[in-house]
């Protein structure tokens, strides 16, 4: 199964590489930070068709075509984001990826995150660990927020109320991690 997912991620990634240095047309989905391109749709269509050719009874939840009410069930299900980081892709910032996960009984069985621009493939399979380009990843032994590296993203919904809430949550996390308050944004 994992080899199949890796192959279709590479195939979809080639669409991203082909479009990366070309002018792109895009439109907003929810906000100016939540974008979709023709390449998103082409990559999603390719991934879905490959999956359904091999597994016609499997359910697919895909970012560009899923309704907001798509729920993960116990059925064999694929979760797809054809270009995770579309804003980066549109901006020619080389941090975007094809993300594909396979779930059964509501549990991840395998997943691939492939950045075709840098040709980095992160993948994992239940019970076998996580890897980057065939090299096993070593999990951090950090169990304390105080010493943890925390990364965040604003996400696609950037209205003022949500940004204020997100900034407040980040300040709270930083304050808890370092034991002192952080200046107001």
Please, where in the chain does CATH 3.30.540.10 lie? 2-136
Flag whether 61 is marked binding.
no
User: Under CATH, domain 2-136 is a member of which superfamily?
Assistant: Fructose-1,6-Bisphosphatase, subunit A, domain 1 (3.30.540.10)
d(CA 139, CA 12): 28
User: Residue 136 pLDDT more than 70?
Assistant: yes
Flag whether 164 is marked binding.
no
Flag whether 83 is marked binding.
yes
Flag whether 44 is marked binding.
no
DSSP string computed for the chain? -HHHHHHHHHHHHHHHHHHHTS---EEESSSTTSEEEHHHHHHHHHHHHHHHHH-TT-EEEETTT--TT----SS-EEEEEEEETHHHHHTT-S--EEEEEEEETTEEEEEEEEETTTTEEEEEETTTEEEETTEEPPPP----GGG--------S---HHHHHHHHHHHHHHHHHHHTS-----
| pLDDT (0 to 100) of residue 181 | 46
Tell me how far CA of residue 30 lies from CA of 36, 54, 144, 165, in angstroms.
10, 33, 36, 18
Give tens-digit pLDDT for 77-125.
999 999 998 888 988 999 999 999 999 999 999 999 999 999 999 999 9
Give tens-digit pLDDT for 5-52.
999 999 999 999 999 998 777 666 665 556 778 899 999 999 999 999
Give tens-digit pLDDT for 40-58.
999 999 999 999 999 999 9
Burial of 54 (0-12, 13-18, 19+ CB in 10 A): exposed
pTM of the model: 0.78
**CA angle centred on 134, ends 148 and 122, rounded to 5°:** 50
């Amino acid at each position: 199964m994992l080899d199949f997912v890796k192959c279709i991620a590479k195939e979809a990634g080639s669409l991203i590489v082909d479009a990366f240095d070309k002018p792109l047309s895009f439109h907003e989905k929810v906000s100016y930070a939540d974008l979709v391109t023709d390449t998103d749709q082409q990559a999603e269509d390719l991934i879905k068709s490959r999956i359904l050719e091999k597994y016609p009874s499997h359910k697919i939840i895909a970012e560009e075509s899923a309704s907001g009410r798509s729920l993960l069930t116990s059925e064999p299900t694929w979760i797809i984001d054809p270009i995770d980081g579309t804003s980066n892709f549109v901006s020619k910032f080389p941090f975007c990826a094809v993300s594909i996960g396979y779930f059964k009984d509501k549990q991840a069985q395998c997943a691939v995150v492939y950045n075709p621009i840098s040709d980095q493939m992160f993948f994992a399979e239940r019970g076998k660990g996580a890897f980057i380009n065939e090299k096993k990843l070593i999990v951090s032994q950090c169990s304390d927020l105080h010493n943890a590296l925390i990364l965040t993203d604003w996400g696609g919904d950037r209205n003022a109320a949500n940004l204020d809430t997100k900034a407040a949550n980040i300040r709270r996390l930083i304050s808890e991690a370092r034991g002192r308050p952080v200046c107001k944004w």
